[in-house]
Amino acid sequence: MIVDHIKHVFSGIKVIFFPELCVACGRKLVAGENMLCTACRVDMPLTGDHKGDNSHLRERFANHFDPVWAVSFFYYVHGSRHSRIILNIKFRGCASAAVGMGRLFGRYLAEECPQMCRADMLVPLPLSRERMMVRGFNQSELIARGMGGQMGLDVETRAVARVRYGNAQSRTRSRMERLCNVDRAFAVVRPELLKGRHIILVDDVVTTGSTLTSCAKAILEAVPDCRISIAALASTPKRGYRN
Ligand SMILES: [Zn+2]
């Protein structure tokens, strides 16, 4: 009882001195809100990838491999309010937002696309050791950990490794250059963990899909009977999309 009271007082003090902010719009959160304010949660530009022919993302991989599922949670539109969720996770070191958004995404998939929960495991896209040293965490792994709890799936980080990094990808120009850049960037170090399994590759944001393609190709080369789905927190929309 006393412990609860002390906890309550301290959480009140924390709110006064360190108010939690919405990871999208930056406004102070009020009681009952968690990570996102009510307006940003209601306005989330959901992709609905799991509905219909599932083609919004699938076609980005079409020439390379055929994912069982290819889904993303919301649209990443450069400069939009919701794009800040990804920027906060990726460039401002907001690890708790990565886990929290993963939880939201996992809960959404468990409700909207429960078939995906029948996969065998979540495999986050690995980061190179150098990138890990700079960022301090692998955002895809934290997203996957948040998702795993909601979907009842384990997160497997031992199977695939990042073996080298090309030039900073944002500076490259064409899709072809990106494909070359990430080619041979991944290696399967524990193929036995993936043999005969259906895995969900987890990434933060999909643009051209070249990084996920490179990882999936490395996996299928080493473990041809592995089935692969894709789940990304966000994806860039097709041309002509209006929010
Ligand atoms: Zn907000």
| Residue 239, burial from CB neighbour count under 10 angstroms (0-12, 13-18, 19+) | exposed
Distance from the alpha carbon of residue 20 to the mean position of ligand 1, in angstroms = 11
Tell me: pLDDT of 96 over 80: yes
Tell me: pLDDT of 123 over 90: yes
Tell me: pLDDT of 171 over 70: no
The two tokens of residue 225 are 């009977």
Q: Which range among 145-149, 176-180, 212-216 shows the weakest confidence by mean pLDDT?
A: 176-180
Q: Residue length, the chain?
A: 243
Environment of ion ligand 1 (residues, CB < 5 A): 22, 24-25, 37, 40
Tell me: pLDDT of 163 over 90: no
Q: Which residue type, as a one-letter code, is found at position 157?
A: T
DSSP, collapsed to helix, strand or coil, labels residue 97 as helix
Tell me: pLDDT of 181 over 50: no
Average pLDDT of span 6-28: 68
Tell me: pLDDT of 231 over 80: yes
Percent over 90 (pLDDT), the chain:
66
Q: Look over the chain and give the mean of its residue pLDDT values, rounded to a whole number.
A: 86
CB-CB neighbours of 132 under 10 Å = 14
Average pLDDT of span 172-198: 76
CB-CB neighbours of 112 under 10 Å = 14
DSSP, collapsed to helix, strand or coil, labels residue 139 as helix
Percent over 70 (pLDDT), the chain:
81
Q: What's the confidence (pLDDT) of residue 71?
A: 95
pLDDT in tens, 41-58: 999 999 988 887 667 888
Q: What's the confidence (pLDDT) of residue 3?
A: 58
Distance from the alpha carbon of residue 25 to the mean position of ligand 1, in angstroms = 4
DSSP, collapsed to helix, strand or coil, labels residue 206 as strand
Q: What's the confidence (pLDDT) of residue 170?
A: 47
**Bridge partners, residue 205, by sequence:** 234
Distance from the alpha carbon of residue 8 to the mean position of ligand 1, in angstroms = 25
Q: What's the confidence (pLDDT) of residue 197?
A: 98
Distance from the alpha carbon of residue 22 to the mean position of ligand 1, in angstroms = 5
Distance from the alpha carbon of residue 73 to the mean position of ligand 1, in angstroms = 17
**Bridge partners, residue 124, by sequence:** 202
Distance from the alpha carbon of residue 202 to the mean position of ligand 1, in angstroms = 25
Average pLDDT of span 118-145: 92
Domains assigned to the chain = 1-43 (no CATH), 45-235 (3.40.50.2020)
